[in-house]
Structure 1
C-alpha cells in the first residue's frame, strides 16, 4: 500500500500506485481505509496530498467507528474538507448503513437467537444511547415489522407492555422479539433487563402473543435471555 508524505502530491505518484488505479486493478477489497477515503475526497490541498488528508480525517475520528457517525459540522472543522467534500462523505456513510440494513423482498425468517441478533447487529452495536426495538413476527417466524419503541436507559416504568402489544395486535403479529443495545459493548443482561423481560412474558401470555426472546446487543456479540433461561 502506498502511504503519501506531505511533500508528495498524488500527481507525483506513479499511476499504478494511485488509489483509483489500484481499485480498478485489484478491487475495492484490497484498498486500505485511507485509500478508500482518498477516493471519496477526490483531492487534497495545496499543502498536502489527498492521501495525507484522508489519513488525517481517519485519525481525527480515531478510526471508522466514530467517523461513520460524524456530522457535517464535525467534518468541515477539518482543514481541507469543505461542505462539498463533507456532503459526499456523509452520503457514502449513509449508503453504507442502508446497504447493511437491506434485506431482500422475501421476509427475513428468525429460527435462532443468532438470526435475530444478525438482523439488527450492525444497526444497533454502535449506538451511543440505548434503543429498545421490537421485531414483530408472523406464524412462520418471518419479520413483518420492526419498530423502535423508545430511546434511553431501560426501565420497567418506561417500557409499557401496552405500547408493544398494541402494535403487535395492530400488525396481527403471532409473536415478538425484543432487543436493546448496551452502548458499553458488553451484552451481559442487567437485573432491570431480566425484570422487563419477565414482565413482557406475562403480558404476552394474557393476550396470546408470545415473547420469543429478548436480545441484548453488544459490540459484535449478544446475549439471549431465552438461552439464559429467563423466558
Structure 2
C-alpha cells in the first residue's frame, strides 16, 4: 500500500459517507460516495472511495454504468462478482422505483402526458424506438409496447403494425 492511499478508516468519522448519510441524508452525498456505500469495502490497495471513483471514471458517470453488464463491471480491478451484483441490483431498484408512479393507470390528456410517461425509459436510448401506448376510453394506459427499433434517427412502421396488437 502506498503512503498516498487514504483508506476510509483514515478519514475522520464525520466525513465518511455512511456517517454523512445518517447525519445529512442521502441527497447530501456525491455519486461516488453513494457508490462507496453500496460497495461497502475497498481492497488492500484502494479505499472504497477510490474504487467508487474508478468505477465512475471507467463508465464516464452513471449514464453508462446503468447499462453495464456484469462482465464489464467485474473487469474493473477491485470489483468482483459480489460487488458487481450489488451495483446492478441497486441500479435495477432505482429503475423500478422511477417507474412506480405509472403502476396506477396513468391518464394521458395531452401529448406532454404521453411524453412524460415514456421519457425516463427512453431518455438514453441510442436508436429510434416506435412505442405505442394503448388507452381505454378514459385515456388510461392499458398497455405499452415497443413495435419497432429503428436506426440512429429513423423508424419505419406500417399502420397495420400499430393496429394489430
Q: Same fold by TM-score, threshold 0.5 exceeded?
A: yes
- In structure 1, how many angstroms separate the alpha carbons of the residues matched to 2:145 and 2:102? 18
Per-residue deviation, residues 146-205 of structure 1 (Å, max 9, x unmatched): 11112223343xx122121121xxxxxxxxxxxxxxxxxxxxxxxxxxxxxxxxxxxxxx
TM-score by length of 2: 0.91
Q: Contact (CA 8 Å) 2:13, 2:19: kept in 1 or not?
A: yes
- Aligned counterpart for 1:145 among listed residues 119, 143, 146: 143
- Aligned counterpart for 2:51 among listed residues 50, 53, 59: 53
1 or 2, which has the higher strand percentage?
1
Structure 1 residue 74 and structure 2 residue 98: aligned? no
Cα distance, 1:10–1:140 mapped onto 2, change above 3 Å: same
Q: Detail structure 1 runs of 4+ shifted over 3 Å in the superposition.
A: none
- In structure 2, how many angstroms separate the alpha carbons of the residues matched to 1:36 and 1:165? 45
Cα distance, 1:112–1:58 mapped onto 2, change above 3 Å: same
Using the TM superposition, give the Cα deviation of residue 104 of structure 1 relative to its aligned residue in structure 2, in angstroms: 5.2
Structure 2 spans left out of the alignment, 5+ residues? none
Structure 1 spans left out of the alignment, 5+ residues? 168-231
Report the equivalent of 1:87: 85
Match of 2:101, SS state, is coil
Match of 1:108, SS state, is coil
Structure 1 residue 135 and structure 2 residue 133: aligned? yes
Report the equivalent of 2:25: 27
Match of 2:143, SS state, is strand
Cα distance, 1:105–1:120 mapped onto 2, change above 3 Å: closer
Q: Contact (CA 8 Å) 1:10, 1:51: kept in 2 or not?
A: yes
Cα distance, 1:6–1:36 mapped onto 2, change above 3 Å: farther
Report the equivalent of 1:42: 40
Report the equivalent of 2:98: 100
Q: CA RMSD in A?
A: 1.5
Figure out how many residues of one structure are paired with residues of the other and give that number.
161
Which structure 2 residues correspond to residues 117-196 of structure 1 after superposition, within 5 A?
Answer: 117-153=115-151, 154-156=154-156, 159-167=157-165
1 or 2, which has the higher helix percentage?
2
